Amino acid sequence: MGSLAYESSNSLTARLLGRVKGGLETFIAPAKTFSLNGFIPLSKCQQLRQISLYSMFDSFRVDQVLRPFRQLKQLRAFAFPRSTDFRSVHDITEIPWPPNLQRVTLSGFFPSRSLFSKSFLRDWPPSLRHVILDNACGLRHLYSLSDVYPNMPYTILAVDVTTRNCLHPPINMALACSGVKLLSLPADLAITNYSSCRTRPVLERLDIRRKAKAEPHQLMPSDLLEHAEGIPTLLQICLHSYHVDDEDMDFKAADTLLKSRAQVRKREDGTMAIEPHEAGVIVFWDD
């Protein structure tokens, strides 16, 4: 169906969805041949487990996007169109999410922190485990996720901040305090000031990724040690060699602290998001 959809028209894509609705499990919207009119036939594909509308350039209100898909019980992953208007949050409180959603990609235009916290996030589906912030315009002044996410359920285990965001530090400090266990973000957002954390962090794994189309953001051993000391639950730091000046750079202090912490946790209760042997500092080197 993929090649036909990309070479067809909006109406033909909608008709194709009607033909395959009984067995379609994954749908990635073609940018030019899928529109709002296709949401209804897509919503009739009851076996869908993954929907990505990210390639759609049109701007939609968040209620326009969510309403057609609220009855898809098999849906596990959903990506919003890249220009979704989340500023219409007054509508979201009456629109249920798909009941078993586990991963959501948020893209588009977001409201102020007060609106965001009071309306939108209180309706997260209880099954949600993974949130991806991708091209999140309007969140560039997000200085405390504990302010914006006061009702974030502790079932959310992972947050992924992509390189297409205009977010500014200290984003990871706030995320570390919000109940998230796995955090992935670009290196320029990986600041080390944890002094204003107001809740007990549970972060166990921090992935520091390379920035897209930008100068390397160099990380020193002292930076990683500050992360390790600043988050008492942290067990693993992964980073790309792109952020390391010298192949012989010594991260032993942070590595030793994380590994010893994992051994203590294992003896105490044994519940960790990673395996004990995976603890420490991991640097991925390219050829």
How far, in Å, CA of 230 to CA of 236, rounded? 13
Q: What pLDDT, in 10s, does the model give residues 130-181?
A: 888 887 666 544 443 444 454 555 566 777 777 565 555 555 556 666 677 8
Give dist(CA 258, CA 133) in Å, integer: 27
Segments making up each domain of the chain, as ranges: 1-102, 140-287
- Cα–Cα distance measured from residue 135 to residue 255, given in angstroms and rounded to the nearest whole number: 32
pLDDT of 75? 96
229, amino acid identity? E
Q: Percent of the chain beyond pLDDT 70?
A: 66
User: What pLDDT digit, counting tens, does each position of 80-118 carry?
Assistant: 998 888 776 554 555 678 989 999 888 887 765 544 444
Assign 3-state DSSP to the chain and report helix, strand, coil percentages, each to 5: 35, 20, 50
**Residue 258, φ and ψ in degrees, nearest 5:** -65, -40
**Is the overall model pTM greater than 0.85, yes or no?**
no
Q: Extract the tokens encoding 32.
A: 């030019």
- The structure tokens 């953001």 sit at 217
